[in-house]
Amino acid sequence: MPLTDQETDAGATAPECLVCPLCMGIAALRQSRPEAVEHVLKAGVELLAAFRALVEPADGHADGHRQRPTGMQRIDIG
């Protein structure tokens, strides 16, 4: 049984609701150039890395307690 024109057009693209932000973003990505998508993804990765650095404590301790600086640093050479 051959497919109608409407059925072949429906199979070419996936239907999105175009109401929620996620579906609108997916539809926009499908219409953009691959270089633009790559650039946006790299920018998103950098944004997440900056957010992580902002949220993470400066001394690297997860509990949030900071040690007082002693003025000396122990360097293991062995």
Sequence-distant (≥ 6) Cβ neighbours of residue 18 within 8 angstroms = 24, 27
Q: Which residues contact 53 (CB under 8 A, 6 or more apart)?
A: none
4/77: higher pLDDT: 77
- Determine the pLDDT at residue 49: 94
What's the pLDDT tens digit per position in 11-63? Answer: 455 666 778 888 888 888 888 898 988 998 999 999 999 999 888 866 555 55
pTM of the model: 0.44
Where do the structural domains in the chain lie, given as residue ranges? 17-55
> What is residue 75's predicted lDDT score, i.e. its pLDDT?
86
Residue 8 pLDDT exceeds 80: no
